[in-house]
Amino acid sequence: MGPERPTAISCRRATISASAIPARLNGKYLIQYRSPIPRLQSNYDLALARGTVGQSKEAFASFAERETVYFINFYRKWVAEPRLNALAVAYEDLIGEQARTLAAVVSFIQGDSKRRPGGARAGACAGAGRRPTAAPAACATRCSTLYYDPVLFAQLEHRIAKECGKDRIRFHFL
């Protein structure tokens, strides 16, 4: 028997650049992203479970800094500039507005740009960036976990807003 093949592929830390994809492939790309703080907390919990990060306030702060830099770079590379062959979908929209978001995804895959809900720009799902009117459901349970620090979270979100803008990212502490 040959070498063992992985049973799952993780695209979380994909290193392929958009410019490295040959134009002749003419593929369509669905890019899913999550708001920064719930994403940060979820990734920290995962790293803790895997034993790849320390369990202290200092370790969390260091992890938060690395994750913030990663989010900013990911956003700039894949989400900031809409592409005709890519649709960026916010996780919060996929959870909170399933029918509308999935309709946008299906329309995108079918190539029907007229059917994008809410007149969304190419590359953007309609609800992305809308600020929640109530306590954000995606953050409500996560924010009660280990090392909850609204001051740190607000600082990180301010940095992300400064670097990436506010129009397509859900913020919970600004």
Residue 47 identity (one-letter amino acid): A
pTM, two decimals, is 0.71
* 3-state SS class at 90: strand
Place of tokens 């907390």: 41
Please, which pLDDT band fits residue 18 given cuts at 50, 70 and 90?
Answer: low
Q: Interior CA angle at 16 toward 10 and 22, to 5°?
A: 125
With contact defined as beta carbons under 8 Å apart, do 33 and 88 qualify?
yes
Which is more confident, 74 or 25? 74
